[in-house]
């Protein structure tokens, strides 16, 4: 830490600018509620605008002079280049801007949460010291390639385990943590989890920075197509070799492993049954949402990386590249002519009209041609009613089972609340379908409507048991559906 860096940081840091803002407590409280407490990574403009208006109404009786402007004014200000407290961007499948926290705001929330320790009430010094010692000891052992040192460490570990096993067998007593130690270690785990969630924004900024540089070099037209492509690939390769990139990709491989997910879910369920933690509701909620949130965070960062790949694919489009080259050449010629005429500009011989409004039209806005429907006349004057066919139609209608969509969604939400993540096969094993295949299709439709994970490649085999009305059992091969705690599901709850 040097004076020059401190001066630059204090002068330019958006995080410090947020802390110095007169509305800082209210801004941080609102953003923490909407993103962190609600476990949302992104929010659309309409939801955030409505929430901010409601928040202003809530604080107005006690703080009438705070946040008095319109909600859209504050949202625009918080996304400006001077503040950079929120990121605003367009997302595929939405017709309105989407917002997410910037790394600077994540730093402020992490800092204030660490200082105040509002949720858990104390700072775990003993557990953090033990974590430091265990980490350093593990580093000493795992950083060495000496076989003798590794064998000595493993033998010592085995001896300690054997002694503990023998003591339990002889005495029948288990040494456990004290209640304060349990809560202290739980507080340390929650603190690390919150810091981890904030670290994703920094990794995402790296990918965005590379994408912006590639787009800027493409627009300027000074580099060759091969040079821009080499820059992008080299920058991405450097990112993957950096400590931050290596750690992130190792995290992705870890969290996407089905065995690791099952292990984490089991640990989460066991933590929820610890009596000493029963009063720490907020911390337990954070732990229960851990796996779905980490999966969503990793997926979002990977989508940012995919945008870089899409930019490179567009760059490789030869025709588009030639058109960009031609436009860049014409612009250079215009600038050159304008510079040559700067000292003696023509008078009344050159005119220029500027269109201030651009008419934007999408080719997808026009519907495809379809043939007009043709109506066929049917003569019913000689029609004779068939009572047997009518009775059969009524019997078929009566045999149809009604799908209770609200009940099915309640089953999904209860299963997600209990397990965190559950596949459709496991859900059907716990709640056998009463309406057969139609109910299975209904669950798949709910998964798509509410933003759960539906695989396009992986499949799952399920078996529908035989029903009481004589319907035989049935084996099905369905897409792999994984129900998780989605943003929409959390909002509905």
pLDDT tens string 451-492? 888 887 788 888 887 766 656 777 888 888 988 876 454 444
Say how many domains are in the chain.
3
Position 475 scores a pLDDT of: 83
Does residue 56 sit within a domain? yes
182 and 327 inside one domain: yes
Mean pLDDT of 36-54: 88
Position 404 scores a pLDDT of: 83
305 and 415 inside one domain: no
Position 12 scores a pLDDT of: 87
232 and 313 inside one domain: yes
Q: Is the pLDDT assigned to residue 367 strictly greater than 80? A: no
Higher pLDDT, 364 or 15: 15
Position 74 scores a pLDDT of: 93
pTM, to two decimals: 0.45
284 and 190 inside one domain: yes
Name the range with the highest mean pLDDT among 59-73, 160-174, 381-395: 59-73
Spatial contact of 484 and 292, defined as CB atoms under 8 Å apart: yes
User: How far from 243 is each of 171, 238, 247, 249, 295, CA to CA, in Å?
Assistant: 47, 10, 6, 10, 21
Q: Which of 135, 168, 182, 139 is nearest to 277 (CA)?
A: 182
Q: How far apart are CA 356 and CA 217, in angstroms?
A: 27
Higher pLDDT, 388 or 27: 27
Q: Which of 425, 438, 435 is nearest to 483 (CA)?
A: 425
Does residue 368 sit within a domain? no
Does residue 166 sit within a domain? no
Q: How far apart are CA 148 and CA 145, in angstroms?
A: 9
Q: How far apart are CA 143 and CA 156, in angstroms?
A: 18
Domain span at residue 205 reads: 178-337
189 and 287 inside one domain: yes
227 and 90 inside one domain: no
Q: How many CB atoms lie within 10 A of CB 12?
A: 9
Lowest mean pLDDT among 41-55, 81-95, 285-299: 285-299
Sign, CA dihedral 405-410-411-416, equals positive
388: Cβ contacts below 8 Å, ≥ 6 apart:
none
Q: Please say which residue of 76, 100, 116 terminates a domain.
A: 116
Position 344 scores a pLDDT of: 73
Position 474 scores a pLDDT of: 79
Q: What percent of the chain has pLDDT over 70?
A: 74
Position 106 scores a pLDDT of: 86
pLDDT tens string 412-444? 888 888 888 888 888 888 888 877 788 888 889
Higher pLDDT, 303 or 5: 5
Q: How far apart are CA 71 and CA 52, in angstroms?
A: 6
pLDDT tens string 70-120? 999 999 999 998 888 998 988 777 788 999 888 889 889 888 877 776 544
Lowest mean pLDDT among 208-212, 259-263, 435-439: 208-212
Q: Please say which residue of 116, 149, 165 terminates a domain.
A: 116
| Average pLDDT of every residue of the chain | 78
Position 491 scores a pLDDT of: 45
Q: Is the pLDDT assigned to residue 126 strictly greater than 70? A: no
Position 27 scores a pLDDT of: 94
199 and 332 inside one domain: yes
232 and 314 inside one domain: yes
182 and 325 inside one domain: yes
Q: Which of 444, 443, 441, 437 is nearest to 463 (CA)?
A: 437
93 and 236 inside one domain: no
User: How far from 100 is each of 105, 190, 191, 488, CA to CA, in Å?
Assistant: 10, 22, 21, 16
Q: Please say which residue of 84, 116, 148 terminates a domain.
A: 116
200 and 331 inside one domain: yes
Does residue 257 sit within a domain? yes
Does residue 268 sit within a domain? yes
Higher pLDDT, 392 or 242: 392
User: How far from 490 is each of 95, 413, 420, CA to CA, in Å?
Assistant: 22, 9, 12
79 and 204 inside one domain: no
**Domain containing residue 97: CATH number:** 1.10.10
Mean pLDDT of 158-162: 88
Higher pLDDT, 324 or 18: 18
Does residue 351 sit within a domain? no
Kind of pairing between the strands at 422-423 and 474-483: antiparallel
Kind of pairing between the strands at 453-464 and 98-101: unpaired
Q: What percent of the chain has pLDDT over 90?
A: 10
Does residue 96 sit within a domain? yes
Position 193 scores a pLDDT of: 76
Q: Is the pLDDT assigned to residue 60 strictly greater than 50? A: yes
Lowest mean pLDDT among 11-15, 50-54, 70-74, 234-238: 234-238
Does residue 382 sit within a domain? no
Spatial contact of 420 and 291, defined as CB atoms under 8 Å apart: yes
Tokens standing for residue 120 = 């858990």
Higher pLDDT, 273 or 53: 53
Lowest mean pLDDT among 22-36, 161-175, 331-345, 458-472: 458-472
Position 334 scores a pLDDT of: 85
Mean pLDDT of 344-358: 67
Q: How far apart are CA 75 and CA 85, in angstroms?
A: 10
For residue 49, what pLDDT band results from cuts at 50, 70 and 90?
very high
């Amino acid at each position: 830490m040097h004076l020059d860096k401190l001066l630059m940081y204090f002068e330019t840091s958006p995080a410090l600018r947020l802390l110095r803002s007169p509305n800082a407590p209210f801004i941080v409280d609102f953003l923490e509620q909407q993103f962190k407490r609600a476990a949302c990574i992104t929010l659309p403009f309409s939801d955030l605008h409505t929430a901010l208006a409601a928040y202003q109404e809530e604080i107005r009786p006690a703080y009438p002079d705070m946040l008095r402007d319109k909600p859209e004014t504050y949202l625009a200000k918080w996304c400006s280049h001077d503040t950079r407290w929120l990121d605003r961007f367009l997302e595929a499948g939405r017709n309105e801007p989407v917002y997410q926290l910037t790394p600077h705001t994540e730093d402020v929330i992490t800092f204030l949460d660490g200082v105040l320790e509002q949720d858990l009430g104390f700072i775990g010094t003993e557990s953090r010291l033990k974590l430091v010692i265990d980490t350093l000891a593990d580093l000493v052992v795992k950083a060495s390639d000496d076989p003798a040192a590794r064998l000595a460490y493993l033998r010592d570990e085995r001896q300690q385990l054997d002694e503990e096993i023998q003591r339990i067998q002889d005495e029948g007593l288990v040494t456990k943590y004290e209640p304060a130690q349990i809560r202290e270690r739980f507080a340390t785990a929650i603190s690390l989890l919150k810091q981890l969630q904030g670290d994703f924004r920094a990794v995402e900024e790296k990918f965005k920075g590379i994408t912006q540089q590639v787009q800027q070099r493409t627009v300027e037209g000074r580099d060759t197509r091969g040079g821009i492509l080499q820059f992008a690939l080299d920058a991405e390769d450097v990112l993957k070799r950096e400590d931050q990139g290596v750690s992130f990709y190792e995290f992705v491989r870890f969290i996407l492993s089905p065995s690791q997910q099952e292990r984490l879910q089991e640990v989460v369920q066991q933590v929820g049954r610890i009596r000493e933690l029963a009063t720490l509701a907020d911390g337990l909620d954070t732990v229960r949402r851990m796996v779905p949130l980490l999966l969503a965070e990793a997926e979002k960062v990977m989508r940012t990386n995919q945008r870089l790949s899409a930019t490179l694919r567009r760059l490789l489009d030869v025709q588009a590249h030639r058109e960009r080259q031609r436009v860049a050449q014409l612009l250079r010629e215009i600038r050159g002519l304008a510079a040559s005429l700067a000292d003696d500009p023509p008078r009344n011989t050159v005119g220029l009209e500027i269109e201030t409004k651009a008419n934007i039209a999408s080719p997808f806005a026009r519907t495809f041609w379809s043939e007009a429907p043709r109506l066929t006349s049917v003569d019913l004057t000689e029609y004779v009613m068939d009572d047997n066919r009518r009775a059969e139609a009524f019997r078929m209608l009566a045999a149809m089972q009604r799908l209770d969509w609200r009940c099915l969604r309640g089953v999904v939400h209860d299963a997600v609340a209990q397990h965190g993540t559950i596949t459709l096969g496991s859900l059907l094993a716990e709640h056998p379908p009463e309406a057969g295949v139609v109910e299975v299709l209904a669950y798949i439709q709910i998964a798509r409507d509410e933003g759960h994970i539906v695989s396009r490649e992986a499949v799952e085999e399920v078996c529908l048991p035989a029903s009481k009305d004589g319907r035989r059992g049935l084996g099905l091969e369905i897409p792999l559906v994984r129900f998780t705690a989605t943003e929409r599901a959390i909002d509905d709850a």
